[in-house]
Amino acid sequence: MVEDPRASSRARAVRPLNAPVEVRVRADGSGRPAAVWLSRAWQGVASVEDVWKVDDEWWRGQEQRIERVYFEVLLEGGRRVTVFHDVVRGAWWRQAG
């Protein structure tokens, strides 16, 4: 059966795509990731492939501004992941996707 095209559509649940998830990271003395907790185990970082910083919404004040340092890392098993350090909140996140 085909739905009536004139019927009002219902709102469906909206969810963000590729939302970051909090992750545990061991950083070295310079603040770069040395190991990432994935799949219930520490995964060593073989190399940091790229680093970039996002500094945005600074005009909103200390608690609402965005200051993140992103790291694209290659793990020892060959997996490539992107993690970032939220400088304002002091937390590490893994970018999904």
Q: CA 65 from chain center: how many Å?
A: 17
Per-domain residue ranges of the chain = 21-94
Tell me the three state secondary structure of residue 58: helix
pLDDT at residue 85 in the model: 97
- Amino acid identity of 56? D
Q: What is the pLDDT along the chain (97 residues), one digit of tens a residue?
A: 666 666 666 667 777 788 899 999 999 999 999 999 998 999 999 999 999 999 987 777 777 788 999 999 999 999 999 999 999 999 999 998 6
The pair of three-digit structure tokens given for residue 52, joined into one six-digit string: 């970039």
Between CA 26 and CA 2 the distance in angstroms is 54
Length of the chain as a residue count: 97
The token pair that represents 65 in the structure block: 């501004």
Contact (CB, 8 A) for 44 and 20: no
